Amino acid sequence: MMSGTDESLRPQKSRITIFDEPIICNFCTHNVFIPYEIYVNVEQPGIGVRHVRYIAICQHCGQAKNFSDPSYYDAENDTFIWALNQYLISVREYKIKIIFYIGKRSDDKLTAFLNKLIEQNIEVENVHRVKTEVIVLATISSLNEIQTVRSTIMNSAMRLNVTIKNLIIK
């Protein structure tokens, strides 16, 4: 975590605040970005006066957001007011256990569901099938919270008409 320093924002996945207000993507309303420093010629072309600004790329949809650092010196209180805060995000690893039922001859449905999990960067480690019950053990490394991972799995199952009996994420 970086907070209230004269360092530039690090180009790493993070949440960024300006005066403790989070930067939110205008397109998808998520708040995880990778910020990059850019230099803009703010005077007439050719003079060569450059101003530092930031561009942050939303890690959910890829939309770019431009902003500047409004930090300033408060002469009245003889102190510098830091505006930008960056909170680096760590990747979490979740263990997943999915128990669901499929028909005896629904190998295509099972394959489609497993492929959908893999598409979502879920690493399927073990699949155990006894008649119509299937147990899938998997892991995922993600910046998302458990609720987001859970809803992603449930939405995929619903779209493929897979009835989940039990879903455990730790």
- The Cα–Cα gap between 86 and 146 comes to 23
pLDDT, tens digit (0-9, with 9 covering 90-100), for 85-135: 999 887 789 999 999 998 877 788 899 999 999 999 999 999 999 988 999
- At 43 the pLDDT is 66
pLDDT exceeds 50 at position 4: no
pLDDT tens, position by position, 28-38? 899 999 999 98
Determine the pLDDT at residue 16: 94
Q: What is the pLDDT of residues 31-66, one digit of tens each?
A: 999 999 988 776 666 666 777 889 999 998 999 999
CATH architecture of the domain covering 92-169: 2-Layer Sandwich (3.30)
Residue with tokens 């497993």: 114
Q: Is the distance from CB of 152 to CB of 94 less than 8 angstroms?
A: no
According to DSSP, the residues that pair with 64 across neighbouring strands are 57
Q: pLDDT at position 44, please?
A: 65
Task: Please report, for residues 37, 42, 55, 58, 69, the alpha-carbon distance to residue 66 in angstroms, rounded to integers and kept in the order given.
Answer: 10, 15, 4, 11, 11
Place of tokens 């997943």: 96
pLDDT digits (tens, 9 = 90+) for 79-93: 998 999 999 887 789
What is the secondary structure of 61-116 as a DSSP string? T--EEEE----EEETTTTEEE--EEEEE-PPEEEEEEEEEE--TT-HHHHHHHHHH
How many Å apart are CA 36 and CA 15, to the nearest integer? 13
Q: Domains of the chain: which residue ranges?
A: 2-88, 92-169
Distances (CA, A) of 81 to 5, 21, 24, 53, 61: 10, 15, 22, 18, 32
Q: Name the residue with higher pLDDT: 154 or 2.
A: 154
- The bridge status of strand 64-67 relative to strand 50-58 is antiparallel
